[in-house]
Chain A
Amino acid sequence: DVVLTQTPPTLSATIGQSVSISCRSSQSLLHSNGNTYLHWLLQRPGHSPHLLIYLVSRLESGVPNRFSGSGSGTDFTLKISGVEAEDLGVYYCVQGTHAPLTFGSGTKLEIK
């Protein structure tokens, strides 16, 4: 199975600070059809996960544009440009290129 390694495991940020989360895959996530099925989710405390970014860099409808995704192959990054209080929670990367679908171990964002 594809292993997704997220760093850092925990992140502490002040309001307005920009932060990045890394997701490194044990295999290339470039599918033979040319798509890269790497997505980012946020799970706020006590809530279901919800989608932020799909296919590496596409912003889900309604998600603030302070969130952005980048990367290719095995290395991917989620950036938050100007953290807000509502951004606290656990961020997960998830890949759907190789079966079974797998998730990263998560990065917990705390607000100082």
Chain B
Amino acid sequence: QVNLLQSGAALVKPGASVKLSCKASGYTFTDYYIHWVKQSHGKSLEWIGHVNPNSGYTHYNEKFKTKATLTVDKSTNTAHLELSRLTSEDSATYYCTRSPILGGCPFDYWGQGVMVTVSS
């Protein structure tokens, strides 16, 4: 069965970086883009970007281009989101989800989400 398992919650200091992970199982990792989505408390959803696990190619939302770095490790079927120079505005829940590279049903599986709290 398909599963996207995200790393645990993080408490980080302002100015620091954090690297979140999303481990995929139950399907061919390289057949699906991995997307990352931000949800600030009580707010709607924002798309950060996606990564093609096959090529490593990334596509970012311009808003997050200097904040987020997306990578993949094909050897462990894991996608990563690194957030840099953290501020209180980055405190949020971050989700990973997938969509098929060759088209079809998108966002059919989501990770459980990880809460990042930026506080001194």
Contact = CB atoms under 8 A, between A and B. Distances in A.
B111 A48 contact: yes
B112 interface: yes
B60 to A, nearest CB: 8
A99 B37 CA distance: 14
Given A49-B110, A51-B107, A60-B108, A103 B95 contact: no
B59 interface: yes
Contact of A104 (B44, B63, B108): B44
Nearest to A101: B47
A49 B96 CA distance: 11
B46 interface: yes
Interface residues of B, number: 23
Contact of A39 (B61, B106, B113): B106
B62 A100 contact: yes
A57 to B, nearest CB: 13
B26 to A, nearest CB: 15
Given A39-B107, A51-B106, 15 more contacts: A39-B106, A48-B95, A48-B111, A49-B37, A49-B95, A49-B107, A92-B44, A94-B45, A96-B99, A96-B106, A99-B59, A100-B47, A101-B35, A103-B44, A104-B44
